[in-house]
């Protein structure tokens, strides 16, 4: 079979039609609603207890820490109140022995020590001048703590969130294994160690990096109203959006601010349609899924995110190579090759190894518009050790890679469209500015025309169409785990200050029966009564 004909057949299997897109949106909306009604749904729809988003006018100095893997990052963020900010940060590797420590205290003491080192290095004057929190009747929140840093804690491990700064660890991932920490409140673990060092820091918010992306975009985006969605399309994919409290039907444990009538929801949309009711499922999707540690799970993510796209392409190419009737990377003699050579694939080529093909090669293929695809062919030689690939080989590779990337973009549009329709913003007569969406991740940043392909799909979706797509503004939002985390700490601080004087006095009377208020309490004592 001619290579061109076989390539068209393969490309056709990755086609995700306009009809498919609309079916996907309808099912996405259904699974969103199911996740808001009950736990255990395909899409978790996790309440974050964040009940407001910034608008770019916020000011102040806040901190953020990010434990996302083998590194720990400490940041301070000066919000300038004009959608701009100044970021200072340090990063340190987590010692391997602490990733498997016997007690949670060992790891969290190390984290708190890094916070202390950061403060002494970058905010020495603030550190030395800070005033310990003290009880006072002059403010309804019950203490004076203007010099205490509010800190957002990005903790990228599975947690059961119970409040804006409360969450118990469900399990460790990414090489960590400290059983002592499982079931404990990670914010309290960090606060305890911070208090032991007498640092002017309060862990004000527990942060998911996707929620942080939403907050970071809301602060920096042009316009009066904030973003409605923060989405990550990178190594993984997820989204967090602003939902009406009235639509959250499942029980909400813990305390939260009801005054806004809204709450940010972490969708965990990577697991959308694990049942494969509407998601495409080629033979190569099946092969990939079976070879992963979690077959049958995260089925949407396995078709959209950068972690998997390169492997889907590799599996497709391998199947073509195994077919004796398909002349991919095969030449009978040099006359069949425009480089006047014969194509050879090295035995150690990454094409033969699971996960050997990085998704970045899809970006190279999409970006190469040279007549002879010379850039892509150089990439095939240099990184995949496929020597002297012909123009026909490169054209086939580019077409298949493009089909996989285009399908990922159109599937991304399904999630974005469903969120836009769920919020009802397109039908809001009072909204006279674009509907803003913040995105982060290597696909939207580096894959050529990825956002263009998303818009192409948005235009064919019922309820959005050409005019609706024009009103949707998709912009890059950077550093959700840093700037976004700091902004959630800001929201948390405002929630504290919204406590009424009556509530404060009531709590004070209750605590007076248990505590000797003649002593000035330490931070840790106050934290228990706040």
Distance between CA 290 and CA 244 in Å, rounded? Answer: 38
Beta bridge partners of 47: 265
Distance between CA 212 and CA 410 in Å, rounded? Answer: 24
18 is catalytic: no
Q: What is the DSSP secondary structure assignment for residue 287, as one 8-state letter?
A: H
- Tokens 């934290």: give the residue: 527
Nearest Cα neighbor of 365 from 409, 313, 300, 407 is 313
Encoded tokens for 200: 């002017």
Phi, psi of 440, deg, nearest 5: -145, 160
195 is catalytic: no
Separation of CA 59 from chain center: 25
Measuring CA to CA, how many Å separate 435 from each of 55, 221, 281, 306? 13, 11, 32, 26
In the set 209, 273, 289, 523, the catalytic residue is: 209
In the set 44, 156, 360, 442, the catalytic residue is: 156
Distance between CA 227 and CA 218 in Å, rounded? Answer: 5
Q: Are 249 and 312 in contact (CB under 8 A)?
A: no
In the set 17, 86, 171, 428, the catalytic residue is: 171
Spatial neighbors of 348 by CB under 8 A, at least 6 apart, are 385
76 is catalytic: no
- Tokens 């392409």: give the residue: 313
Q: What is the DSSP secondary structure assignment for residue 434, as one 8-state letter?
A: -
Q: Are 34 and 42 in contact (CB under 8 A)?
A: yes
Residues labelled as active-site residues:
156, 171, 209
């Amino acid at each position: 079979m001619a290579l061109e004909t076989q390539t068209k057949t393969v490309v056709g299997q990755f086609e995700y039609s306009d009809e498919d897109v609309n079916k996907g949106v309808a099912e996405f909306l259904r699974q969103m609603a199911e996740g808001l009604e009950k736990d255990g749904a395909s899409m978790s729809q996790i309440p974050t207890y964040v009940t407001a988003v910034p608008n770019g006018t916020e000011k102040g100095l806040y901190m953020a820490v990010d434990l996302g893997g083998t590194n720990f990052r400490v940041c301070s963020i000066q919000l300038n109140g004009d959608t701009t900010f100044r970021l200072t940060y340090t990063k340190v590797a987590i010692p391997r022995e602490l990733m498997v420590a016997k007690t949670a205290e060992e790891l969290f003491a190390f984290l708190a020590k890094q916070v202390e080192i950061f403060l002494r290095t970058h905010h020495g004057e603030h550190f030395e001048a800070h005033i310990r929190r003290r009880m006072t009747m002059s403010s309804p929140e019950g203490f004076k703590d203007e010099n205490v840093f509010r800190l957002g804690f990005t903790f990228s491990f599975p947690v059961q969130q119970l409040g804006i700064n409360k969450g118990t660890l469900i399990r460790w991932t990414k090489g960590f294994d400290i059983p002592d920490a499982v079931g404990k409140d990670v914010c309290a673990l960090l606060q305890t160690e911070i208090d032991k060092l007498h640092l002017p820091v309060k862990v004000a918010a527990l942060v998911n990096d996707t929620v942080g992306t939403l907050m970071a975009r809301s602060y920096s985006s042009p316009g009066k109203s904030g973003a409605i969605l923060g989405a990550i399309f990178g190594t993984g994919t997820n989204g967090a959006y602003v939902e009406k409290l009235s639509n959250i039907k499942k029980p909400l444990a813990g305390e939260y601010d009801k005054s806004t009538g809204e709450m940010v929801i972490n969708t965990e949309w990577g697991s959308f349609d694990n049942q494969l009711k509407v998601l495409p499922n080629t033979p190569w999707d099946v092969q990939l899924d079976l070879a992963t540690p979690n077959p049958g799970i995260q089925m949407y993510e396995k078709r959209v995110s950068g972690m998997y796209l390169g492997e889907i392409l590799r599996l497709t190419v391998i199947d073509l190579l195994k077919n004796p009737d398909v002349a991919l990377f095969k030449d009978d003699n040099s006359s069949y090759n425009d480089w006047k050579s014969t194509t050879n694939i090295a035995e150690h080529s990454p094409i033969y190894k699971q996960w050997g093909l990085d998704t970045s090669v899809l970006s190279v293929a999409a970006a190469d518009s040279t007549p002879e695809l010379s850039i892509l062919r150089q990439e095939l030689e240099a990184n995949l050790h496929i020597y002297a690939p012909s123009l026909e080989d490169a054209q086939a590779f580019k077409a298949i890679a493009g089909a996989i990337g285009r399908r990922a973009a159109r599937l991304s549009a399904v999630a974005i469209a469903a969120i836009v329709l769920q919020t009802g913003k397109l039908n809001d007569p009072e909204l006279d500015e674009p509907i803003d969406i913040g995105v982060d991740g290597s696909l939207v940043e580096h894959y050529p025309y990825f956002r263009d392909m998303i818009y192409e799909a948005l235009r064919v979706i019922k309820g959005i169409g050409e005019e609706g797509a024009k009103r949707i503004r998709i912009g890059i939002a950077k550093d959700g785990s840093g700037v976004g985390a700091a902004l959630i700490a800001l929201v948390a601080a405002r929630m504290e200050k919204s406590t009424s004087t009556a509530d404060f006095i009531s709590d004070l009377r209750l605590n007076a029966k248990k505590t000797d208020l003649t002593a000035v309490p330490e931070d840790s004592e106050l934290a228990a009564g706040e």
